[in-house]
Structure 1
Amino acid sequence: MSDLMSTLALSASGMKAQAGRLRHVSENIANSDTPGYRRKTVNFQSLVDQSGANIGVEMGKVALDQAELKQVYDPGNPLADANGYYEGSNVNLMVEIADAREAQRSYEANLKMFDQARQMQSSLLELLRR
């Protein structure tokens, strides 16, 4: 039963990490037109116990993408310099949509693993009752 419980905890940590990743992707998409906005990237870290066994995954620190900010020509914008340019964001919507799909699919895979372990646990309890 302990293995099934650890499977539930492992898949739950994966769902939590992917939900956090999806939150940051959503922020990037929402701020894609915000001048000076830098894309947020997320790293994942393995959680290990004292014996070295993997017990889950968590989001690491959020980092800002250091890619060049897009130069936008708009002389009427109050942020524009003497040449009519201002710094836009470095968010690429195609990359963000791909990241969102990957996070969604990873979340769904963890959800299926969680559901499978829950069903196995339920079946085991049913067998033990007999």
Structure 2
Amino acid sequence: MSLSKIFDVAGSGMAAQSLRLNTVASNLANAESVASSPESAYRAKEPLFAAVQRSLAGQASSEQGATASVQVKGVTESDATIPSRYEPGNPMADGNGYVYASNVNPVDELVNMISASRSYQNNVEVMNTAKQLMLKTLELGK
């Protein structure tokens, strides 16, 4: 694998982890929101990623002739149950006095945030190392 492909792979990983951090931020911002029905309650968002390996034109899809990347397949909503609370005084309460909270688990979201942040940092480190290797290679010719 040439060093220039490393930037593509690490860049796609950084873009994926950035999306993951954005969904975590959205989930945490809506963790305490309530709604008047289970259908209108906020549902936790979860990004879907896939590893993609593309072969270069005119070459076999061997390790030398292929490049890998991370592709974002989409953002799905969690299927976890929507919790309900009896709060008859709440203006958002339905006819029976229940409000429906989001299904966001803040602990899971914090774990996702730490994992995404570390993955992003690892990809930055890969890019920095590749850059240093390229610079050292250029210095060999001096």
TM-score w.r.t. structure 2 length? 0.84
Structure ranking higher in helix proportion: 1
Report the CA distance between 1:105 and its aligned residue: 0.6
2:44 to 24, 36, 39: 39
Query: Could you tell me which amino acid in structure 1 is paired with residue 48 of structure 2?
Result: N
Structure 2 residue 53 is matched with structure 1 residue 48: yes
Point out the more displaced range, 113-122 or 68-77: 68-77
- Secondary structure class of the residue paired with 2:52: strand
Report the CA distance between 1:79 and its aligned residue: 2.4
Point out the more displaced range, 54-63 or 103-112: 54-63
Matches within 5 A, 1:1-130: 3-35=2-34, 36-50=41-55, 51=61, 53-128=66-141, 130=142
- Secondary structure class of the residue paired with 1:49: strand
- Secondary structure class of the residue paired with 2:2: helix
CA distance in 1, matches of 2:139, 2:86: 68
Output the aligned Cα RMSD. 1.5
| Unmatched runs of 5 consecutive residues or more in structure 1 | none
Report the CA distance between 1:108 and its aligned residue: 0.8
CA distance in 2, matches of 1:11, 1:108: 10
Query: Could you tell me which amino acid in structure 1 is paired with residue 109 of structure 2?
Result: E
- Secondary structure class of the residue paired with 1:87: strand
